[in-house]
Every structure is written in C-alpha cells, then in structure tokens.
Amino acid sequence: MQNRRVLSGMRPTGQLHLGNYHGALKNWVELQYQYECYFFIADWHALTTGYADTAGLEEHVWTMAVDWLAAGLNPGVSTLFIQSRVPEHAELHLLLSMITPLGWLERVPSYKDQQVQLKDRELDTYGFLGYPLLQSADILLYRPQYVPVGEDQVAHVEITREIARRFNHIYGREAEFETKVDKAIKSLGSRNAALYRSLRKDFQEKGDAGALAKARALVEANARLTVADRDRLLGYLEGGGIAVLPEPEVLLTATPKVPGLDGRKMSKSYGNTIGLREDADSVARKLKTMQTDPARVRRSDPGDPQKCPVWDLHQVYSSEQTRNWVQSGCRSAGIGCIECKTPLIEKVVEEVSAIAKRAQEFQDNPDVVRGIIAEGCERARDVARDTLAVVRQAMSLDYR
C-alpha cells in the first residue's frame, strides 16, 4: 500500500440507498485497498441544515455505520469514525475561521442554492454559512492527498485548497527556511535530490502539473523524512514556505446516473429510493412500478431507452448482452417493460440481499459496531492531534 492518504465523509441521513452506494460508497470500498483511508460520519454537518430536529441523529449515525460495514468498508484497512468524537475538527474550524474572508463563504454555490431549496428551514445561521469551512477543517486535519467526492462537492474542496494556501502564506514562514529545505533535499540522496530539483524547476518555470505531482509523490514515498522536512519539501515545491497544511486534490468519483423510481435523481428528499437493505419483494414491487419511457403507453408502442430511467439502471447493473437485448427489444416493441425489468430486478435483489445479510449481523451485534467506531475515532484523533500541534506551533499558540 502506498502511504498516500484519502479522506472523505458523509452526512448521516439514515438508511443509505442505491444512489449513495453507486455514487460514493462502492468507490470508497475500492479506494481503501489503494490508499490509507479515513472515512467519517459527518454528524456536525447534519446540524448545519438539520439543527432543529436532532432526535433521530444518533440512530442515523449507527444506521450509517452498519451500512458502511455491510457495503464492505473494512475497519482492518480503513479508519472509520464519527466527526463529533474528534473535537479537533471544531478547534481547527475555529482557528481557520479567523483567516477566512466572509466573501469566500458567501460565494460557495451551495450557500445560496440550498437556502432556496430548503426554504422551509431558517438557514440564515452562522453555522450554515460556515459549513464549507467546517468541511475544510475536516479535510485539512488529516492532511490527505486526495478527497474522493462527486461533482457537487468539488467547490468545497476548491475552497479548502484556497484556505490551505492562505494559511500557509500567513503562517508558513520559518526562520532559515532556505537552509533547512536545502538540508532536507540533500537527505533525499543525490539521485532523488537532483530529480526533486528538476521537477520543481519544471513546475515553477513551465507550470508543469505532472512534474508537481511526481515531485510530491517522491516526497511522500520517502518514509525516512521527518514530518517537518516533508512539509518543507512539499511547501518548497509550490512556493517559498513550509506547507503546514498541504493542499488536497479532488479525486472525482465517476458516478453513474442512478435514477429514482420517478425518474428524478435518487434522493431521500424525493422519496424515490431503493434502500441498501431493502427486501426482495419490496425491490421487485418498486421496480415494477418504476417510471419508463412515457411514449410507451401500450405494449405494442416502441420505446426509446434514452428516454427511460430504467435504462440508466441497466447501465449500472446489466451485462452488454442484456443491454443489447433491451435496446433492440425496446425499440422494436419486441419486449414489454415488465420483461425488460426482470433481469434488473434479479441483479438489484442479488446486490441488496447480500448487503442486507451482512448488515443484519452487525445489527445483531451493536457492541461490535461501537467497538469498531471507537477504535477508528482513536486512530483519527491521533492524526488530528498531530496536525493541531503543528498548526498551533505555526500560529505561535504552543505556549509552554
């Protein structure tokens, strides 16, 4: 395993559905075998829009923990934790709030959008405005290289990068930086030192992003560097100071389109979901009534899969052979919609019943789940404490 770190989080919204699974969770399950992964339940984030009703929060947290484990997140390789159990998130959020211009937060697209979308809630709050900054703190606390998110979260990682840059610019000054960085480069060994210098030159002079990525990888692969030297070398690549908080990159999740039963995006707020632990009968019942191409009123009317949400699901679940069968059968009215849905129902049932079965085991052993999460919280806290020590030092808050 490479020692590159990945961090991501999810709001506890209760039972997850197929949209959450194919949009994020399934990708996390794969990432955990390629990177050192930290995944957390963003319970404080749930408060930014849901502060008025917190009674169900605890249940949602544990339901999500069970869903994660049942879907294949492996606590042996990933660190799974709850945000509020690592209070360092709040401390870093507070410290970063001091250097964050209000305009940056007001300009985040989701700020205005969500206020419009959720207009039944009072969202003129300090917490709601600060939500992207809380997310920045979540991320920067673990100093990850990558943040796997969907398109809708890219702006949040972008502001995180800006905040990291600003922090490093204000607090990344260090006495005799040049001398120290020179020593750190030499400690890479002569070959890697030369490579580091030439990659840095390519980035600084030609803006070669590939060179920057290679140089970062070179630094990160070196296990013998001290944390301070690693920060110096990463900071020196991009500018002239120490990178106390390295800028994370988005790892854009290629998300398939997962329509809900009414053809809109699958979402809890639309009430059009298929749950990750839905039983077989209910899956079949829901899919049988799922919206199809509206032009196919009668069985004898030909249809167009392009206009049918069921087709989007076939693209997630079906083999090429089945997809070809759908295409020709639909366009020629050779198959009916129920017939078309049959192989899909089979695949979805297969997927969710395997997950439901594993979920049941965790559900029956809540102490096991609590133990896994408690351990994850401890591991996360160790990392968080280290980062805060460096942050406090950079801000001259490390009083003796």
Does 42 bind ligand TRP (CB under 6 A)? Our answer is: yes
Among 66, 69, 70, 147, binds ligand TRP (CB under 6 A): 147
Residues touching ligand SF4: how many (CB under 6 A)? Answer: 14
Which residues in the 166-225 window bind ligand TRP by CB under 6 A? none
Does 78 bind ligand TRP (CB under 6 A)? Our answer is: no
Does 153 bind ligand TRP (CB under 6 A)? Our answer is: yes
Counting other chains too, the contacts that 385-390 makes at CB distance below 8 Å and 24 or more residues apart are 385/88, 386/227, 387/88, 387/92, 387/140, 387/141, 387/142, 387/143, 387/245, 388/88, 388/91, 388/92, 388/141, 390/227, 390/231, 390/244
CA neighbours closer than 13 Å in the CB half-sphere of residue 385: 7
Cα separation, 358 vs 59, in Å, equals 18
φ, ψ for residue 5, nearest 5 deg: -105, 145
Stretch in the footprint of ligand TRP (CB under 6 A) among 5-13, 14-22, 119-127, 337-345: 5-13
Cα separation, 22 vs 257, in Å, equals 9
Does 161 bind ligand TRP (CB under 6 A)? Our answer is: no
Does 250 bind ligand TRP (CB under 6 A)? Our answer is: no
* Residue spans of alpha helices (H) in 187-295: 190-206, 209-220, 227-238, 280-288
Choose the contact partner of 351 out of ligand TRP, ligand SF4, none; CB within 5 to 8 A by kind: none
By CB atoms closer than 10 A (0-12, 13-18, 19+), residue 144 is buried
Among 81, 196, 311, 317, binds ligand SF4 (CB under 6 A): 311
Among 5, 17, 45, 277, binds ligand TRP (CB under 6 A): 45
Does 135 bind ligand TRP (CB under 6 A)? Our answer is: yes
Place of tokens 């590939």: 210
Query: 3-state class of 109 per DSSP?
Result: helix
Cα separation, 137 vs 94, in Å, equals 9
The nearest distance, CB 345 to ligand TRP, in angstroms, is: 29
> Closest by alpha carbon to 361, among 12, 16, 66?
66
Contact (Cβ atoms closer than 8 angstroms) between residue 135 and residue 93: no
Q: Which amino acid is at 300?
A: S
Does 261 bind ligand SF4 (CB under 6 A)? Our answer is: no
Does 38 bind ligand SF4 (CB under 6 A)? Our answer is: no
Does 330 bind ligand SF4 (CB under 6 A)? Our answer is: yes
Choose the contact partner of 260 out of ligand TRP, ligand SF4, none; CB within 5 to 8 A by kind: none
The H or E element containing residue 36 is: strand 36-41
Does 149 bind ligand TRP (CB under 6 A)? Our answer is: yes
Strands 36-41 and 5-10: parallel
Cβ-based nearer residue to ligand SF4, 257 or 268: 257
Cβ-based nearer residue to ligand SF4, 311 or 362: 311
Among 303, 349, 351, 359, binds ligand SF4 (CB under 6 A): 303
Cα separation, 365 vs 41, in Å, equals 20
Does 284 bind ligand SF4 (CB under 6 A)? Our answer is: no
Does 80 bind ligand SF4 (CB under 6 A)? Our answer is: no
The nearest distance, CB 269 to ligand SF4, in angstroms, is: 25
Here the tokens at position 182 are 């020179």
Stretch in the footprint of ligand SF4 (CB under 6 A) among 22-30, 178-186, 300-308, 361-369: 300-308
Cα separation, 301 vs 286, in Å, equals 23
Here the tokens at position 31 are 């990432």
Choose the contact partner of 153 out of ligand TRP, ligand SF4, none; CB within 5 to 8 A by kind: ligand TRP
Does 12 bind ligand TRP (CB under 6 A)? Our answer is: no
Choose the contact partner of 340 out of ligand SF4, ligand TRP, none; CB within 5 to 8 A by kind: ligand SF4
Contact (Cβ atoms closer than 8 angstroms) between residue 350 and residue 317: no
Positions touching ligand TRP (CB under 6 A) are 7-11, 42, 45, 135, 138-139, 147, 149, 153
Positions touching ligand SF4 (CB under 6 A) are 292-293, 296, 303, 305, 308, 310-311, 326, 330, 335, 337, 340-341
